[in-house]
Structure 1
Amino acid sequence: MALTLLMVVAVLGNVASMSLYAAPTVTFKRVIRKKSTEEFSCIPYIIALMNSLLYTWYGLPVVSNKWENFPLVTVNGVGVLFELSYVLIYFWFSSPKGKVKVAMTAAAVLTVVGVIAIVSTFAIPDHRHRKLLVGSVSLGVSIALYASPLVAMKKVIETKSVEFMPLPLSLSSLLVSLLWMTYGLLIRDIFVAGPNVVGTPLGILQLVLHCKYGKRRQKEEANKQIGHEEKLDMEMGHHKNENVPSN
């Protein structure tokens, strides 16, 4: 029963995570269409790439005991492909100064991941201490990843607009946090459950902001539409009056 529950949560976690990885495609379609990164930041996607690389490594038999953490390998392996694609698109459409920033940040991230992989493979002899090293770093990066929406939330509060915090991304983030927190608690792995304990309340907070400022934006757009229609009506009425013959 416990094993079945674990597998169900793992499968649901994988599906939800795929949705989370795919959610930024809306943002990057806009970047491609406008050929500009606008005010979007590349940092969350580079941190997400680092997070996926580390947890993929954490789940492999080199670090974990055999394939005990296979679900982490599948979901984060796909995450690496998604996040790498986003970083490359961002790099392509960035300004020259932005390209330098992306390249330097990504190079630093890949260097850190490479060093951790080498140290955990050749300098640490047993799985327990390898998991402790890789898991600790992964936990810190994952918490930083879940904390990165705080920047977007600050912008939402300042601008009173949820334009730069898409609802699909917020919903997916909350669902993923809930599922992987459950999975981590079931397997009693703090390095899996820990970051999601942070991610869950942050996901709820994002939805609260959507409820508050999303409705406000819809109301403003509706008022603009009404104003536009009234203006058209006035212009049409003016033209009609001009066409009426005078006595």
Structure 2
Amino acid sequence: MITFKRIIRSKSTEQFSGIPYVMTLLNCLLSAWYGLPFVSKNNILVSTINGTGAAIESIYVLIFIIYAPKKEKAKIFGLFTFVLTVFTAVALISLFALHGNGRKLFCGLAATIFSIIMYASPLSIMRLVIKTKSVEFMPFFLSLFVFLCGTSWFIYGLLGRDAFVAVPNGFGCGLGTMQLILYFIYRNNKGSQEIKKPSGNGTSIEIGEKKPHQDKQQPNGKVPQDEQV
């Protein structure tokens, strides 16, 4: 929520990645479908929570598509189309071609595979954190809730003896832990790369320390003779 308030306020997605949100949407859709009574019994809680999550993630993805740059917008919209295609295919195949335990197995495997992909989707951001030594684009609360979500569903899957819930969320618990470790390592760093902003004439200028001669420039823009070589 904090991330999207920033995106709406700045009217830009900056360097935030939209991939985790799109993959989370797919995970929620498949998990909600898996939890329906005609697919797997006694899993209505899985269906209810993930159905709510799918609605929230749809809003996030829509906001991201609106404010993303043209190239990123096309990329995220393509992924969004892929998500809807995969979910529709899984739903139709399981509904009309499979029955009983076969339906549960098929939907469970699909949900497991894409849950693992969802949890792995922030790996590109983790790579950016290590490269820049900055956690600016890996929000703390996103990392925290990835860890909490993975841990809670992992325990739920163990208690219910449901491997399709326990396995992917155990993986998510581990990745969430890695994200939190990275956050606490680099939380006080602002990154080592210089930030570039466009100047008035269309070129880019670097924001950094002032050069020694900048304080000694004369009104005509020339450097004093004692500074010239």
TM-score range, shorter chain: 0.7 to 0.9
Question: Is 1:99 aligned to residue 81 of structure 2?
Answer: no
Question: Is 1:118 aligned to residue 92 of structure 2?
Answer: yes
Q: Is the Cα contact below 8 Å between 1:62 and 1:121 reproduced in 2?
A: no
Question: Is 1:83 aligned to residue 57 of structure 2?
Answer: yes
Aligned to 1:224: none
Q: Is the Cα contact below 8 Å between 1:45 and 1:83 reproduced in 2?
A: yes
Aligned to 2:12: 36
Q: Is the Cα contact below 8 Å between 1:56 and 1:73 reproduced in 2?
A: yes
RMSD of aligned Cα (Å): 1.7
**Shift, 1:100, TM fit:** 2.4
* 4+ residue runs over 4 A deviation: none
Aligned match for 1:57, one of 33, 37, 40: 33
| Equivalences, count | 192
**Shift, 1:103, TM fit:** 2.2
- The superposition leaves residues 78-122 of structure 1 with CA deviations (integer Å, 9 ceiling, x where unpaired) of 111111001100111123333322222211210111011011011
Between the aligned partners of 1:178 and 1:96, the Cα distance in structure 2 is: 36
Aligned to 2:109: 136
Question: 1:84-233 alignment to 2 at 5 Å?
Answer: 84-126=58-100, 128-217=101-190
- Residue 30 of structure 2 aligns with an amino acid whose one-letter code is L
> Unmatched 5+ residue regions in structure 2?
191-229
Identical residues among aligned pairs (%): 48
> Unmatched 5+ residue regions in structure 1?
1-24, 218-247
**Residues 151 and 118 (structure 1), Cα distance of their counterparts in 2 relative to 1, 3 Å cut:** same
Between the aligned partners of 1:212 and 1:101, the Cα distance in structure 2 is: 31
Aligned to 2:21: 45
**Shift, 1:125, TM fit:** 2.1
- Residue 39 of structure 1 aligns with an amino acid whose one-letter code is Q
Q: Is the Cα contact below 8 Å between 1:162 and 1:210 reproduced in 2?
A: yes
**Residues 119 and 94 (structure 1), Cα distance of their counterparts in 2 relative to 1, 3 Å cut:** same
Aligned to 2:2: 26
- Greater percentage in helix: 1
Between the aligned partners of 2:74 and 2:179, the Cα distance in structure 1 is: 31
**Shift, 1:149, TM fit:** 1.9
Between the aligned partners of 1:208 and 1:52, the Cα distance in structure 2 is: 26
**Shift, 1:187, TM fit:** 0.8
Q: Is the Cα contact below 8 Å between 2:7 and 2:13 reproduced in 1?
A: yes
- The superposition leaves residues 124-155 of structure 1 with CA deviations (integer Å, 9 ceiling, x where unpaired) of 121x1111101101101000111112111111
Between the aligned partners of 1:177 and 1:98, the Cα distance in structure 2 is: 28
Between the aligned partners of 1:50 and 1:31, the Cα distance in structure 2 is: 22
**Shift, 1:170, TM fit:** 1.4
- The superposition leaves residues 37-74 of structure 1 with CA deviations (integer Å, 9 ceiling, x where unpaired) of 11122211111110000000000122113xx0011111
- Residue 39 of structure 2 aligns with an amino acid whose one-letter code is V
3-state SS of the aligned residue for 2:188?
A: helix
Between the aligned partners of 1:103 and 1:216, the Cα distance in structure 2 is: 33
Between the aligned partners of 2:111 and 2:120, the Cα distance in structure 1 is: 14
Aligned to 1:221: none
TM-score normalized with structure 2 length: 0.80
3-state SS of the aligned residue for 2:176?
A: helix
Aligned to 1:230: none
